[in-house]
Chains A and B, each alone.
Chain A
Amino acid sequence: MLKISKLTVTVDGKTILNGLDLEVGPGEVHAIMGPNGSGKSTLANVIAGREGYQVTGGSVSFLGQDLLSLAPEKRAREGVFLAFQYPVEIPGVANVYLLKEAVNATRQHRGEEKLDAMDFLKLVREKLKLLQMKEEFLYRSVNEGFSGGEKKRNEIFQMAMLEPRLAVLDETDSGLDIDALKVVAGGVNALRSPDRSVILVTHYQRLLDYIVPDRVHVLAGGRIVRSGDKRLALELEAQGYGWVESDPSAVSAA
């Protein structure tokens, strides 16, 4: 599904990712953990194609294509989805309008017909139910005046509507209370399927109690320094990230 090789990225001349390797197979859920400033969000943004990140080396291949050569909207239409760490408020653009444009852009890209109003509404209702959201929400402006939890829930709702092949969730758990976390996790779990992969970028282990990952990676100094199964997350929770920063031998051993 996704193969990242020796990826090096700089921001304003500063190296943030430094030879990162990562491979995510179809249907797999990978968690990327690491201390603040380790490059987790940079990785998420580079995959989505945000401006301001200079890729100075390495490659990213998505379903056999060179992902880095595609414009952000093309990546989205090919099936890459980024749930933003800080979802953007867009006054005056109703949620339903954004969703309709987005869903139809992707359908057109695939050579499918645009959804008519009836089918679209049917799809919307089904997904609203999944995220336990009310219909009135559709007619509110995108993220405007939403609480932190509502914004994160909206990201997962959009993901459910767009049915991506690869979803990158950038700190979707931060700022969520436990009930909201369960709803969001429930939404993600419902979308797990053999042909959909998920990358969870998170600082805390808590989310992984609800979305159980196949693989856990520790990102530090711009590289994956350790990988393991879900038990690695528990270990990190117990020990903190101190060892990553203080013990270079642990890094090289990994």
Chain B
Amino acid sequence: MSQGAANVAAYVAAQREQAPALPAFGTPSLDASRAQALESLCQLGLPSQRDEDWKYTSTRAITRAAFTPAVAGAPCPGEFVSQTTIDGLDAWRLVFADGFWQPELSLLDDLPKGVQISGLGQSLGSEPQRIAALLGSALGQTPHGFIAMNSAFIGDGALIEIAPDTRVDKPIELLFISGCSGEGFLSLPRNLVVMGAGSQATVIERHVSLADERLLSNSVSELILADNASLNYQGVQQVAPRGFHVGGMFARLGRSARLQATTVTMSGALVRNDALVNLDDEGGFASLDGLYLAFGRSHVDNHTHITHNAPHCVSREHYKGVLGDRGHAVFHGRIVVQPGAQKTDSVQNNQNLLLSADAEIDTKPQLEIYADDVKCAHGATVGQLDETAVFYLMSRGIDRQAARRMLTQAFAADVLNRIELPALRSYLEAQAVQRLSPEQVRESES
């Protein structure tokens, strides 16, 4: 075991204890991949700021005391679920308590032909070989210890399979509730979305906290898009001020497949989102949009990594952040154009609005281009509210605070306006308005 292992000993021990009870234990390929992930976890340890990809994000608040991996059976109050529901959203819904599927709180009636939605654990029980073979296929290499930890504990989460040429006409919402087991627990959901050739779907992955406690959710979602498949993937993190969330979205796109992903981070003590996309065949399109709000002492880190493995693919990234108080955010956008990926068209854009002198942003675009006929552009801005615009609004009778709020909301709305689902869009707009309340946009005394 290497030096990193010290901060994972408790998790390794917990995995060894829990492993025989994990779904489909005894399936050779799955046993092997869990064991391999555990080995990776031992070797990698949990990341620290010595790792280049975690340079600006300290995990000390997470590693200072180990979390206990939750087990199935924690009760999830149905009342909380109904309070958390998005108004007007007509969706199939899967609810998870600390990562475990709650069929009785889920809405899966009348699923159309060609649409399979279920708990991953249940499916692993019934079709262990087939599902085990799919798991990990969008992952590629393991970028850091949290991902390895998730893979070592693969047990429950959401499984969505859409048959070829099937259009799912309602969104599918995955609602992850942390804190059902109490303070100090860790949830490790693993999701798998398999889009058949020419299929279309919208998936919402929401992470919320039951209470403001020291909690960790470490979630991994694998998205596999066959040729011509089209997936809208909307990630939302509404983590409690003391809660931690580390999430990974790993996507693999076939020929002419389309992925439109949005990641909206409303709150949380530390939220780290990894988004890794592989454009594996010609004509693929991936767009990653993000909005992050970091107030109080919140830390939000978005780490994107798009690899163009084939010619004629398009990627777009548009991330915006609003930071106030002592909020800290990181945007690291890596784009790799592999040899032979000619005619790549890639644009990356990161804009940040700093509302206080103590807020901090680290933004790092990183382009690695190994092909010679490509179009790649990137840009990052960090700024404050435009005083000319503030005065313009004041000259129309709007007071300074209201003007600042109006401009801040407009800045954030730009990303939310790209969300196609009206109910989700208005819900997130309302949430953002609440977050960007007068206290949040007030000017810090200088």
Q: Which residues of chain A have a CB within 8 Å of any CB of chain B?
A: 48-51, 71-73, 75-77, 81-82, 84, 87-88, 90-93, 97-98, 101-102, 105-106, 109, 141, 158, 162
Beyond A88-B389, A90-B407, A91-B414, whether A71 also contacts B402 by CB under 8 A is: no
Q: Check A73–B398 contact: CB distance below 8 A.
A: yes
In the complex, whether B397 has a CB less than 8 A from a CB of chain A is yes
Contact call A82/B395, Cβ cutoff below 8 A: yes
Q: Is B392 an interface residue (CB 8 A)?
A: yes
Does B17 have its Cβ within 8 Å of any Cβ on chain A?
no
Q: Quick one: closest B residue to A106, CB to CB?
A: B397
Question: In the complex, are the beta carbons of A98 and B396 less than 8 A apart?
Answer: yes
A49–B399 alpha-carbon span in the complex (Å): 13
Shortest CB-to-CB span from B140 to chain A, Å, is 37
Residue of A nearest to B413 (CB): A92
Measured between beta carbons, the chain A residues less than 8 angstroms from B12 are none
Separation of A71 and B403 alpha carbons in the complex (Å)? 13
CA distance A141 to B389 in the complex (A): 13
Q: What residues of chain A lie closer than 8 Å to B409, measured between beta carbons? A: 92
Q: In the complex, what distance in Å separates the CA atom of A81 from the CA atom of B397?
A: 9
A162–B397 CB distance below 8 A = yes
Partner of B398, one of A81, A92, A101, A141: A101
Partner of A73, one of B386, B387, B400, B414: B400
Are B410 and A92 in contact, CB atoms less than 8 angstroms apart? Answer: yes
Instruction: Report the separation of the CA atoms of residues A191 and B393 in the bound assembly, to the nearest whole angstrom.
Output: 22
26 intermolecular pairs with C-beta atoms under 8 Å apart: A48-B395, A71-B400, A72-B395, A73-B403, A76-B394, A76-B396, A81-B395, A82-B395, A88-B386, A88-B389, A88-B392, A91-B410, A91-B414, A92-B409, A92-B413, A93-B407, A98-B393, A98-B396, A98-B406, A101-B398, A105-B398, A105-B399, A106-B397, A141-B410, A158-B396, A162-B397
Question: Chain B: interface secondary structure?
Answer: helix
**C-alpha gap A77/B413 in the complex (Å):** 28
Distance between B322 CB and nearest chain A CB, rounded to angstroms = 12
Q: Cβ of A158: which chain B residues have Cβ within 8 Å of it?
A: 396
Q: Which of B397, B400, B409, B414 has most A Cβ within 10 Å?
A: B397
With both beta carbons as reference points, the residue of chain A lying nearest to B386 in the complex is identified as: A88
Give per-residue flags for B1-22: 1 if the beta carbon is below 8 A from chain A beta carbons, else 0: 0000000000000000000000
Q: A91-B410, A92-B411 are in contact. Are A105 and B397 (CB under 8 A)?
A: yes
CB-defined contacts of A50 to chain B, threshold 8 Å = 391, 395
Q: Does B388 contact A (CB under 8 A)?
A: yes
Docked CA distance A32–B414 (Å): 41
In the assembly, what is the distance between CA of A75 and CA of B391, in Å?
A: 12
Chain B residue with Cβ nearest A161: B396
A129 to B296, CA, bound (A): 47
In the assembled complex, the Cα of A141 lies from the Cα of B413 at a distance in Å of 12
A153 to B410, CA, bound (A): 23
